[in-house]
Amino acid sequence: MRTMSKRLTGHIRQRENGLWEGQYIYEREHRSIYGKTREGVAQQLAEIITSIEEGNYIRPNPHTLLSWLREWHNTYAKPTLRPSTFTNYEMTIEKHFNTRLGRVKLKNVSTRMLQNFFNEKLVSGRADRKSGGLSAKTFDDRKRALMEQM
């Protein structure tokens, strides 16, 4: 467990729009949390500060599913893929995940959401808007690649 020479603190204020904002500093970055009540924000802030002091804090992930897939594709997959596979994955990401699901914050993506998405793609998932779904082979290849990254 990490010990700190100084106790971490934060502060709470009410914003003009009526929301309460709690601020704290983590790794020299100012971070904010928001809530409808001062008590709720105070509780969240206390939990965050405690987790930082105990060394258990995990920085919130700002990515949407689409932004993470793009980052994974360009940063992690590119060095290991053949050029044709890289291009194929890029087209899949842009055609199939640049959707409502792609705009969901990564922390909120559930296995149920993904399964519903895959089920829709099997029935009517063609990006060219023609009738029918993705072929079983296309579907299996894309699903496997996505699930390996989650």
Q: What is the value of pTM for the model shown?
A: 0.57
Q: Cα-flanking dihedrals φ and ψ of residue 30, to 5°? A: -80, 130
CA dihedral sign, ordered 120, 126, 130, 133: negative
| Confidence class for position 4, pLDDT limits 50, 70, 90 | very low
**By percentage, how much of the chain surpasses pLDDT 90?**
37
pLDDT of residue 148: 66
Cβ neighbours for 72, distance < 8 A, ≥ 6 positions apart: 149
Per-residue burial over 54-79, b = 16 or more CB atoms within 10 Å of its CB, e = otherwise: eeebeeeeebbbbebbbebbeeebee
How many whole angstroms separate alpha carbon 150 and alpha carbon 1? 29
- pLDDT by residue (tens digit) across 25-84? 888 888 899 999 999 999 999 999 899 888 888 887 789 999 999 999 999 989 999 999
